[in-house]
Structure 1
Amino acid sequence: AASPDLLGSMVKTFAEALMGAEVDGVCNAEYGEISPERVNRRNGYRAREWDTRTGTTELAVPKLRQGSYFPEWLLTRRRRAEQALISVVATSYLLGVSTRRVDKLVEQLGVANISKSQVSVLAKQLDAQVEAFRSRPLDAGPYRFVQADALTMKVREDGRVINVHCLLAVGVNGDGHREILGLDVVSSEDGAGWLAFFRGLVARGLSGVRLVTSDAHRGLVNAIGSTLPGASWQRCRTHYLRDLSNVAPKSSQPWVATLVRTIFEQADATAVTVQFDRVVEALTEKLPKAADHLSHAKADLLAFTAYPRQIWKQI
């Protein structure tokens, strides 16, 4: 839903590469290859519209000099084939486009006998499109509001399973829609990684940022200040509630969380500030450590009040 054009392009590329692989099998030789085992040759393309949930895609179906070729999965099982292709693209992206996994997923289309080298070609074409998306110019700005976070994931590297950190940034573009700005994978979530990540975003065109929301990771906050001068910082309230729970007894955590949430449900900036002070006062008597923790985070948690009430829920 966030990037329908990207997904449609991926589906088109993958479907056409898949047809090319099938035709290579029919010809018993790859396109342009000189081989004594060749039994047929290509003879141009025919256009065929394919209706999918990503929109109508025009596919170039290969033609043969002798006989005819038309993929059965496109002709007789269009709905199932489309769902399988979406699955292939999405799963390949998430799983790192493993040749073996792609081969198994392609079998959902009823296509068999595709060699490892052909599957590798499909994977490389998809990799190229993913990389093009990750390095594309950020020209839909200004991006007034940005959110940044890191996800820890397990990956296989040199035969071992290790943890890596996926640095992710999402922004609101000039049309008011959320857009994935960047995704980098690093070995550790430190200041150097975040600094390089944001420098890359700025180099690609990130501009006009007014407010960045994130957790209080020191390296992340410093990177924001170094690369986005003039942008204010909003501490993510979800992350903060987890931090606050560490200084409150387990039995009191639900009450503390409910109390703090009332701060963000007020009608205007003045009411938010008043309610914040009330919550601190309520915590002071029973949980002084939690009250002190919350009091020190006031400026970071209430940065959103500088913006119109109508967009508080979104930022």
Structure 2
Amino acid sequence: MMENQRTEYIQAEDYERSEGRRTQRNGYYERDLTTRVGTLELRVPRTRDDAFSPTVFERYQRNEKSLLASMLEMYISGVPTRKVSKIVEELCGKSVSKSFVSSLTEQLDPLVKEWQNRSLSDKNYPYLITDVVYIKIREDNRVLSKSCHIAIGITEDGDREIIGFMIQNEESDDTWSVFFEYLKDRGLKGPSLVISDVHKGLVSAIRKSFTNTSWQRGQVHFLRKIFSSIPKKDSKPFKEAVKAIFKFTDIELARTAKNVLVSEYSDQKKYSKACEILDNGFEDAFQYTVIGAGHNRLKSTNLLERLNQEIRRREKIIRIFPNRASTNRLIGAVLMDLHDEWLSSTKKYIKFDQ
């Protein structure tokens, strides 16, 4: 069959002189073809122009592409490369080395890099949610903790997008500034509100990088800090009063309730520290009521923390990344996957018309 197909491709029989001849025969090469009933050792005819391929391999090539795509999907889902090779061996009866799986995953690098550096200039992101997640990376036979800065943008239409991530050596004023400049270089316009928790150097970097931008302090962590400064015993009335303040979406009402609580409890020694924390951090914790029209999803970093959990789920399997390149590859692939999932959703994350 392959010989007949080569003859049809060349448009001439063996030793036939023909004006319609496309090319010349060029011997054979050996190739295995794995089928359901075993492996066939084939002598495959070839042509001098190297453009001929028997149709017997078309299905094989399609299956091979599907298999490679499935292997990449397993890797992105957090399956270790060693286990990927075992799964392929069980499915196909052929073993693939761990190093082959690793080299295959490198095909993701240009895709991740392109997505990581795509332009942001065609959209406005009035709300920016930022956070950092720490991962372990092996460098020069040492296991080091690295920071991965991540940003989510909320568009004017209420859609959420992962707009950037960057792996750096630490978390500081300088690294946050570098991260924000990276976003701005790609076309990010100054957001109206940046939502984050109190990370080292972050608030300072926001003020330096984004002028005329408000900072919304994550309320969940803020509440935890307040409650961590009071005794557990007999503190329920105080806790309930504080929680009631954080239910307001009108800053004036919230401020009035806060002032009443502070005046009532600040003279009590066991609540004085909590009242001080609440009073000092109140304005930053309620900026979403002024800038974000009181939308509850803008008062915390819960969205990004759920995203961080997806990264953590993969990290628990890998435990220690072998190098920075593999870290960028896997985290980037995971974030790309989630980003595409968000874009395909028909639901708005925030409905600004309400």
TM-score (norm 2): 0.60
Residue in 1 that maps onto 2:245: 263
Residue in 2 that maps onto 1:311: 295
Q: Residue 67 of structure 1 aligns to which amino acid in structure 2? A: V
The answer to whether 1:70 aligns with 2:59 is yes
Q: 1:119 to 1:308 in 2, by over 3 A?
A: closer
Structure 2: how far apart are the matches of 1:158 and 1:255?
Answer: 54
The 10-residue stretch of structure 1 (104-113 or 224-233) with the greater mean CA deviation from structure 2: 104-113
Structure 2 residues without counterparts, runs of 5 or longer: 1-29, 33-40, 300-354
Deviation at 1:225, TM superposition (A): 0.9
> 1:140-159, CA deviations, whole angstroms, 9 ceiling, x for partnerless residues?
52110011111122233333
Deviation at 1:71, TM superposition (A): 4.8
Tell me if the contact between 1:155 and 1:164 (Cα under 8 Å) persists in the aligned partners. Answer: yes
The answer to whether 1:215 aligns with 2:197 is yes
Residue in 2 that maps onto 1:55: none
Structure 2: how far apart are the matches of 1:85 and 1:181?
Answer: 23
Q: Residue 298 of structure 1 aligns to which amino acid in structure 2? A: F
The answer to whether 1:298 aligns with 2:282 is yes
Structure 2: how far apart are the matches of 1:279 and 1:259?
Answer: 7
Q: 1:284 aligns with which of 266, 273, 283?
A: 266
Answer with 1 or 2: which has the greater Rg.
Answer: 2
Q: 1:82 to 1:293 in 2, by over 3 A?
A: same
Structure 2: how far apart are the matches of 1:263 and 1:235?
Answer: 15
Tell me if the contact between 2:289 and 2:295 (Cα under 8 Å) persists in the aligned partners. Answer: no
**Secondary structure of the corresponding residue to residue 137 of structure 1:** coil
Q: Residue 54 of structure 2 aligns to which amino acid in structure 1? A: R
The answer to whether 1:90 aligns with 2:104 is no
Q: 2:176 aligns with which of 191, 194, 209?
A: 194
Structure 2: how far apart are the matches of 1:252 and 1:108?
Answer: 61
Structure 2: how far apart are the matches of 1:100 and 1:301?
Answer: 46
Structure 2: how far apart are the matches of 1:253 and 1:109?
Answer: 60
Higher relative contact order (CA 8 A, sep 6+): 2
Structure 2: how far apart are the matches of 1:178 and 1:223?
Answer: 23
**Percent of aligned positions that are identical:** 30
Deviation at 1:175, TM superposition (A): 3.2
Tell me if the contact between 2:262 and 2:279 (Cα under 8 Å) persists in the aligned partners. Answer: yes
Tell me if the contact between 2:75 and 2:84 (Cα under 8 Å) persists in the aligned partners. Answer: yes
Q: Residue 132 of structure 1 aligns to which amino acid in structure 2? A: E
**Secondary structure of the corresponding residue to residue 120 of structure 2:** coil
Structure 2: how far apart are the matches of 1:109 and 1:206?
Answer: 46
1:125-274 equivalence runs, <5 A: 125-251=107-233, 257-266=239-248, 268-274=250-256
Structure 2: how far apart are the matches of 1:282 and 1:128?
Answer: 60
Q: Residue 275 of structure 2 aligns to which amino acid in structure 1? A: A
Deviation at 1:162, TM superposition (A): 2.5
**Secondary structure of the corresponding residue to residue 217 of structure 1:** coil
Aligned residues: 255
Tell me if the contact between 2:177 and 2:205 (Cα under 8 Å) persists in the aligned partners. Answer: yes
How large is the RMSD of aligned CA atoms in angstroms?
3.7
Deviation at 1:174, TM superposition (A): 3.7
Q: 1:40 to 1:160 in 2, by over 3 A?
A: farther
Residue in 2 that maps onto 1:34: none
Deviation at 1:163, TM superposition (A): 1.7
Tell me if the contact between 1:41 and 1:66 (Cα under 8 Å) persists in the aligned partners. Answer: no
Q: Residue 237 of structure 1 aligns to which amino acid in structure 2? A: Q
Structure 1: how far apart are the matches of 2:134 and 2:253?
Answer: 37
